[in-house]
A and B are shown apart, each in its own frame.
Chain A
Amino acid sequence: MKRILACLILLLLLASIGIVFAEEPKVVEGATLPTGGQTQAPANIYSPQSGREGVAPTALPVEGATRAPVIDSGDTAWVLISTALVLLMTPGLAFFYGGMVGRKNVLGVLMQCFTILCIVSIQWVLYGYSLSFAPGSGFWGGFSWSGLANVGFAPYKDYAATIPHQLFMAYQMMFAVITPALIIGAFAGRMKFSAFVIFTILWATFVYDPVCHWVWGVGGWLKDLGALDFAGGTVVHINAGIAALMTAIFIGKRNGTTNKVILPHNLPFTILGTALLWFGWFGFNAGSALGANELAVNAFVVTNTAAAAAGLTWALIDWIFNDKPTMLGTATGAVAGLVAITPAAGFVSALSAIIIGVLVSVFCYMAVTLIKPKFGYDDALDVFGVHCIGGIWGALATGLFASKAINPAGADGLFFGNPKQLLVQAAAVGVTVVYSFVASYIIYKLIDVVMKVRVTKKDETIGLDLTQHHENAYTIME
């Protein structure tokens, strides 16, 4: 009976596919009308993260092109808040992951997230932002903006015409922070802290910064190719997810995983983390509009819709295949939905978001329960299964569901008459997967040769909290 009910709800969700194509043009035509007349700031619909070459000049109204860019207080306020929201996602992720590991490793996970927050924040100011966003070569930005040289308060038109340049830098900093933090779920419980610190610095420098430049930077070659990535599906999720798979394969399985499952030690932590991630994701996606405008609202709505559809779908899949809907499953689904909608948030409608959300849970569930056991890699907290698979689906879904009716500065996807966009999306995914895997592998091996990445068996048995940090998360007795 319950299964029939679950199947029915799933079918109802999928029925929205039909509605999308029946209703979409009407819905969005109305929605785009105001952008012409009522806009208050120049470059209202333009988002640098849309990654479209030639967008900036066309999106800027004639009046904007002739005078210096003006700071808009509404846009600035929204991006300031979004920056803080995205910052909160890293501690949120720490709790999301921390709840899923054993009691002896929870501080290790929290510590790694906070350490990344500290390290990358400094790296970004010193040279990370310059490598990623300075107008350098197609490969990376060079060092012309090191130490925030030339990054002042006047807006930088090619990225965001209505907010201070330094705010754009700070907003991007939070993305650079959370991306390496996503990876740690794969090697949870078995990497030396010292090796982890070096891995983070090298990975941020040689993997994140170049890929970020390709997709979002001025002159980045994937951007010039026309790849759409609204808020970081390729740069953040696929990039981190594939590096996670690499580390999971090469660091080896956790001890004791052969005959038993390592149980999550505190699921309420994981749910708290999910809630913080969902909340922060409004900054991540809606903030990527880089203004308080229609595009931000669209991203906000589709973000929530996709997360809801995906959380519900995962619960239903659990109900159908594992007898009961589970809290961890629902939370995992919601995160998968947020991942999948990230590249699409500025280009698709809410109904498309439901389809993206429903299907991401199906794909990620398959990756976690079928693919992972089949290949036997120990991706401890399913970073690859959720972030990489979800990110790839999101990037491809952008090529399917993107519509110029939602964002004139974007492009139409396959279902709106532009099959080429899907190929461009697939190319961007392929390039990121290959580059990130190979570059991460080289970094990993270099560190392994110098200092051994994995902790000793004895330390692993006692746990990272006590051996790497000399602390205990919980006391048994006073």
Chain B
Amino acid sequence: MMDKVYIIGKDSIPERISLSDSQEFRACFVALAGADAGMSLEIDIDGRDCLVDIAGVCLCTGEQKASVNVTVRHNCPGSRSYQQFLSIASGESRAYFDGLVYVAPGAGGTKAEQQSRSLLLDSRAFVEARPQLEIYADDVECSHGCTSGYLDEDELFYLRSRGIPEQQAKKFQMIAFLSPVLGRLDEELKQTIYDSLP
């Protein structure tokens, strides 16, 4: 099944989703450069063997503000959830990520993963991340990872030493950074993202 893709600020995004036994929810959220974008999503897993697999890309430029707020509640045992959100902030933009994974008492056998990564391209950009885990059951495997950094100098040097101009090389690095999520989008949208990279 192909991911459902939502453009933040353009498509209407559900605010609450509830999953019952064996249901799956796969989606990608994309915030394109240019306009302020905000989304808030709550997912309740109310059945067994459910799967939540969501991902997102945020491109923030200029004075734009993008915020992503995701809550995943594991209310029943034996389900899985995966989240991956990537953002690139340039100019004076601000990127916010607030994610919560909640595992209710008795929701044993839960597996949850949450990742948020960001790149800062300019010295006036700002990134804030709040990846949170709230866990009330012991038989679980939950993890989150969060990074914030810049384009690696060594990678850039490698590309440039092979004759790729700096701007192009940086673009490659950004595409590589976004690639885990880009792979889930259609060609047309991918091209739009490539074109809008700073």
Do A and B associate with each other?
A: no
